[in-house]
Amino acid sequence: MAERFFVTGGTGFVGANLIRLLLDQGHQVRALVRPQSSVRNLHGLAIEWVTGDLNDSQLAQKMQGCTGLFHVAAHYSLWQKDRDQLHRSNVLGTRNLLACARQAGIQRTVYTSSVAAIGVRADGQPANETYQSPVERLIGAYKQSKYWAEQEAQQAAQAGQDIVIVNPSTPIGPWDVKPTPTGDLILRFLRRRMPAYVDTGLNLIDVRDVAWGHLLAYQHGQSGERYILGHQNLSLKEILEKLAQITGHEAPRTTVPLWLPLTVAWIEEKLLAPFGRSPSVPIEGVRMSAQSMYYDARRAVQELGLPQSSIDQALADAVEWFYQQGYVRRP
């Protein structure tokens, strides 16, 4: 049956793909959009708009008439100066939104957490939903804010609110408008600005599968449980080799020792940024690359039916979308 969903974060990468899926499945969408946000990702879609942010005291009124909520929005930053904003948006904003959803009579919520909230295993093996890194070992304010925001969702679920938690890994594909760090990596490869790479790894998933994971979690997930939305664990070297096969560009062959980008990041963020120079690489982003961020998504595949589409095709679609949108010229 068709439902009316309230969606936060619809102007972003995952949210834009989720809204398209909901519309394709015959549902109605009411999207929360901040006054300053670009709506480029949602141009031409038949959706209802409401203006506000996650800490809006009037959110309950704005949700009236919706049966379900997809809380996808989050503030993303790896810059240390943004710690307070990350807590205000991700933790306090989630707390406020869930309280307003309860007041508005929302029947079920899917909260978009992240594998960032889970952390990585010390032994390098893929982590699943049963693993949890101690919060003090999560690198950076962003990961810690996602952990505490997930705790808000867990506490609300324990109090009786129907909330399913999904933890996407690293989505790739079309509509990466900002772009995300992974989209930026693809763009740097396309622009031939990647002479070397750090020895690290990621779990990739087609962003359209992530969208399906949200809807399947709404339909079949258990309240208070979390589901990793991921697919294939790949080293950065393997990802770059796939991009080389797709584009015909040569993949970088040189690895960089971690101390080098870490030193550059420290100088830029700690010494030069206070004098007005914009740093190019965040310290916390470099520190994260010291760990291979591998995950096991079998629970979502088995219990929700999470699709596992081709990563090669998702990378090719991301490349094509960046070309079509003018982010980079075709060779």
pTM (whole model) above 0.85: yes
Residue 260 pLDDT level (bands cut at 50, 70, 90)? very low
Residue 267 pLDDT level (bands cut at 50, 70, 90)? low
Tokens of 121: 């295993």
**Residue 56 CB partners (closer than 8 Å, separation 6+):** 62, 96
Residues 94-109 pLDDT 10s: 999 999 999 999 999 9
Residues 120-178 pLDDT 10s: 998 889 999 999 999 998 888 889 999 999 999 999 999 999 999 999 999 999 999 99
Domain architecture of the chain: domains with CATH: 4-177+204-233+294-310 (3.40.50.720)
- One-letter amino acid at 91 equals V
168: number of Cβ within 10 Å: 28
Is residue 80 scored above 70 in pLDDT?
no
